[in-house]
Amino acid sequence: MQSERFLFGKDVPIEDMGGGIKRQILGHNDGLMLVKAIFEDGAEGYQHQHHHSQVTYVESGVFDVTIDGVTKQQSAGDSFFIPPNLMHGAICLEAGVLLDMFSPIREDFFENYEKGDVS
């Protein structure tokens, strides 16, 4: 499974995750995935863990990011790395966008796409 080679943001569905967070899958194959996460002020990416490696780039906004119990404030131009199976989450202090890269892909992110439950 892999995405088209050229994707145009205006044509890619945006999924409303609720709680002030939207998600857009911007490209993938079986081993790598790029996801845009759009946060409103105060939105919270609750603490969770998964077996994927994750690198996130803060495109805009201000976030309190917690990884394995350590919290740092990050803003545009910053990034963070999450090794597999570590608890992590983020609280949006100022509306912004995170670009998440996962390896391998987050197959669970496709569940709503398969149901046709995205805008």
Residue 3 in any domain: the answer is no
For residues 34 and 22, what is the distance between their CA atoms, to the nearest angstrom? 14
For the chain, how many structural domains are there in total?
A: 1
Residue 5 in any domain: the answer is no
Residue 91 in any domain: the answer is yes
Q: Is the pTM here over 0.85, yes or no?
A: yes
Residue 119 in any domain: the answer is no
* Mean pLDDT of all residues belonging to the chain: 93
Q: Residue 114: count other Cβ atoms within 10 Å of its Cβ.
A: 8
- What single-letter DSSP state applies at residue 8? -
CATH code of the domain containing 82: 2.60.120.10
Residue 2 in any domain: the answer is no
Residue 31 in any domain: the answer is yes
Residue 37 in any domain: the answer is yes
Q: Which residue has the higher pLDDT, 119 or 47?
A: 47
Looking up tokens 């199976």 gives 85
Residue 13 in any domain: the answer is no
Over residues 40-77, the pLDDT tens digits come to 999 999 999 999 999 999 999 999 999 999 999 999 99
